[in-house]
Amino acid sequence: MSSSSHSTPISTTIISIETIDGPFPRGLGYAFRMSDSSKNIICTIDNGTQCCEVFGVHTASVMDDFIGAEFLSMELGEETRDYETMSVDVFISTSRGKINLTFYNEHNGYYTHTVSIQSELIKKMVDL
């Protein structure tokens, strides 16, 4: 899969970033609320444990630093796959820098988890 980048022609500001960690099927991830609500972004991985897999989302970004930033673009990175570890990155570029979300799943090949990226710019499901 090649990476894809999408930018929005209309200026919009990030007004809140919510951590999503609800019982299955809500998922685990982040919701980015924009001043133009049609530009909201929701990125999650399903969190229904099936066996002994280890899954989740990692970021080194301090989310509060991006409240009030102008949203510039969004990019879905390459899927990384080896025998037991699979991941995909989501990059959100803002006027204050880039947010990097890494969704991952470590399993023996039988216990996939679906990453969902929902926005006006990208609507994608990725099985890890």
Q: Is the pLDDT of residue 2 over 80?
A: no
* Total domains in the fold of the chain: 1
Any long-range contacts for 80-87 (C-beta under 8 Å, 24+ apart)? Answer: 83/109, 84/108, 84/109, 86/128, 87/128
Q: What is the pLDDT of residue 84?
A: 80
Q: Is the pLDDT of residue 5 over 60?
A: no
Cα separation, 7 vs 93, in Å, equals 9
* The two structure tokens encoding residue 53: 């897999």
What percentage of the chain reaches a pLDDT higher than 70? Answer: 90
Reported as a single tens digit per residue, the pLDDT across 72-105 is: 999 999 888 887 889 999 999 999 999 999 999 9
Q: What is the pLDDT of residue 24?
A: 65
Structural domain for 69, as ranges: 4-127
Residue with the bigger pLDDT between 43 and 10: it is: 43
Task: Check: CB of residue 45 under 8 Å from CB of residue 103.
Answer: yes
